[in-house]
Amino acid sequence: MKTYLIVRVHGLRQHLLKEDDYHKLIRGDIDLDNLGYTTSIKENNIQELIEDISKKFIEKVLFLEKIAPEYSKFFRAFLEKLEVENIKAKLRYMRGSGGLEYYYPYHYFIDREKFLSIRNEEELIKILSETPLSIKICIDHIKARKGRISLMEKELCLDAKYYEYYAESVKRYSKIIFSAIQLEKILTYTYWSIMLGRKDTEEIFLTINPENFFLIEMGFHLLELKISRFEKYLENKDYSSLISLVDTLYLKRIKRLFLENKNNLYTVYYYLILIYYEMKNLEKIVLGRKMALRPEIIRGTLKIIV
């Protein structure tokens, strides 16, 4: 099934949105229902639009799982990005800082009804402890050291734990995808180094898995980014430049890997990244249009891999 999966993915890549499609959508020349979605930016509210966009993304991933069920664990681990976002949104909501209670329509480890019924953090952490996303040890470690734990530290514990689960899903049959996931990890590592500081970020990653000391170094090496340069941006608080640099290096690297690995499973991973970015780009366009932002502002938020 692997060969058939790779062939299908090469075909599916031809149906991805082009840069011109995004520009037309931003200008209002076309709407989502012209692109195969069931909703319209003009007619539907933000929640309905985001749900429609994310459902389409989920369907695309599950279609691949149906073609090659032997890689189900990997496809589900990739989709788990959405459930992780739901859990973080739930934590923020319970702290009173999350706005409306809205979640992606994807529930795998915690079914929807059970998830929606959770009313406090302790209950959520207990339920998570029965899944591969358990962060109890990480939370206990931080509490023992500091006497307390912040909401952002809990979110970082969850992100770090997710990457362990995600990388483990492919470790057995694709070293190159495993390495690419370490590149993804650097994106998250960068964000949290800005939000919490590099020292606390690294400590939490190491608490989740001591091997992260080497895996994060691997990620920087693959990005061709010296850690000393990374630290300099943090010291100067030049955060926007740092994010831009890491994003640029990441997109450049994953595309180069694709060009070198068109006939193996990395092609499937690369396609998953492309459709994930497509989903996120559409979310940004929807939010930008609903907020009446200028077209150039919306365009500046998009990440387009050409």
Q: In 3D, which of 64, 88, 91 has the Cα closest to residue 77?
A: 64
3-state secondary structure of 92: helix
Residue 181 lies in a domain: yes
The pLDDT tens digits along the chain (306 residues) read 799 999 999 999 999 999 999 999 999 999 999 999 999 999 999 999 999 999 999 999 999 999 999 999 999 999 999 999 999 999 999 988 766 778 999 999 999 999 999 999 999 999 999 999 999 999 999 999 999 999 999 999 999 999 999 999 999 989 999 999 999 999 999 999 999 999 999 999 999 999 999 999 999 999 999 999 999 999 999 999 999 999 999 999 999 999 999 999 999 999 999 999 999 999 999 999 999 999 999 999 999 886
Residue 50 lies in a domain: yes
CA 287, 245, 157, 185 torsion-angle sign: positive
Residue 306 lies in a domain: no
Q: In 3D, which of 251, 199, 195 has the Cα closest to residue 223?
A: 251
Structural domain containing residue 16 = 2-301
Question: Which residue shows structure tokens 């895996």?
Answer: 215
pTM: 0.95
Residue 59 lies in a domain: yes
Residue 142 lies in a domain: yes
Question: Which residue shows structure tokens 């459709």?
Answer: 275
Residue 183 lies in a domain: yes
Report the pLDDT value the prediction gives residue 99, as an integer from 0 to 100: 67
Report the pLDDT value the prediction gives residue 97, as an integer from 0 to 100: 74
Report the pLDDT value the prediction gives residue 102, as an integer from 0 to 100: 87
What does the block give as tokens for 90?
């739930």
Q: How many domains does the chain have?
A: 1
247 contacts: CB under 8 Å, gap ≥ 6: 187, 303
d(CA 231, CA 198): 8
What does the block give as tokens for 181?
């996931």
Residue 136 lies in a domain: yes
Length of the chain: 306
Report the pLDDT value the prediction gives residue 175, as an integer from 0 to 100: 94
